[in-house]
Amino acid sequence: MTKKSTRTSPDRVTVTLGEGQRQALQAIANKNGAPLAFVVRYALMEFIREHTDGQLRLRFASSEETGRGSE
């Protein structure tokens, strides 16, 4: 009889990145000799740590910053 692993499978999430975000993350990864996945997990961990009080302090880009007008 084979022994079942008690390790759970990792959760996966698919995210669509905005223009230039992948390149920026990849540049950070390259600069630090780290895989892109590690940089993304680290960024997520920092975001969660910063927002443990439950209150999001989000700054949304204006239409001028995103290049979008009112649609």
> How confident is the model over 31-51, as pLDDT tens digits?
999 999 999 999 999 988 888
In this predicted structure, what is the pLDDT of residue 50? 84
Overall pTM surpassing 0.75 (yes/no): no
> CB–CB of 36/29 below 8 Å?
yes
- Please state the domain count of the chain: 1
> CB–CB of 9/15 below 8 Å?
no
Q: pLDDT confidence of 71, banded at 50, 70, 90?
A: very low
Q: Which domain holds residue 25?
A: 21-54
Distances (CA, A) of 11 to 24, 46, 70: 24, 18, 36
Q: Is residue 14 part of a domain?
A: no
Helices (H), 1-71: 21-32, 36-50, 63-66
